[in-house]
Amino acid sequence: MANAALYLTDLPPCTRLVLRGRAAAVEAATTPLGFTLPVQPCRAVTAGDRSALWLGPDEWLILAASSDPVAAALAQALQAHPHSLVDVSHRQCAVAMIGSAVTDVLNAGCPLDLDAAEFPVGMCSRTVLAKSEIVLWRRAVDSFRLEVARSFAPYVRAFLLEAARDYPAD
């Protein structure tokens, strides 16, 4: 869906890994990732085609290109440390939302305060959109990435399209 107020785009498949671990595992993951995992709550880090989103005190969602060998590299680097590394690529899909009405459309079903002062660029959070659990990541002032369970994606898209009807093209 597209108009000047909102662009809604399905993003291509990618590798999605959920990493859980303590400080030693976090440190061991730095080399294969090419960056340090974010430890500040609700923040994301990106380097090249890889990103890591903080989901909890010991949990991160790692995103990479489908062809990226990051999963094997992480598994190798983390062998000596207690951790959990789970590939959830098949479970989720992603939607990009861009436009001047993006926060209003999201707030039709999301309880978070998405004002840029409260939810700045680079912030991410597990939350709900209507009746679906999502991971919401602010990529720019007027741009968000939503990670959603594949089975809920049609519902989320339909909800967003309905909410966007109140925002005609600028």
**Other CB atoms closer than 10 Å to residue 42's CB: what's the count?**
18
Strand pairing class (50-56; 44-47): antiparallel
| 38 and 109 Cβ atoms separated by less than 8 Å | no
**Confidence (pLDDT) at 126:** 97
Q: Report which of 97, 93, 108, 107 is spatially closest to residue 141, judged by C-alpha positions.
A: 97
| 81 and 21 Cβ atoms separated by less than 8 Å | yes
Strand pairing class (92-98; 143-149): antiparallel
Give percent of the chain above pLDDT 90.
Answer: 92
Sort 131 into a burial class: Cβ within 10 Å, 0-12 / 13-18 / 19+.
Answer: exposed
At 35-77, the pLDDT tens digits run 999 999 999 999 999 999 999 999 999 999 999 999 999 999 9
**Confidence (pLDDT) at 166:** 83
Distance CA 123, CA 132 (A): 19
| 156 and 145 Cβ atoms separated by less than 8 Å | no
Give percent of the chain above pLDDT 70.
Answer: 96
Domain ranges in the chain are 2-11+91-164, 14-87
pLDDT for 105 beyond 80: yes
Mean pLDDT of 4-12: 87
Mean pLDDT of 113-142: 97
Tell me the CATH class for 14-87: alpha beta
Q: Which CATH superfamily, name and number, covers 2-11+91-164?
A: Probable tRNA modification gtpase trme; domain 1 (3.30.1360.120)
**Count, residues in the chain:** 170
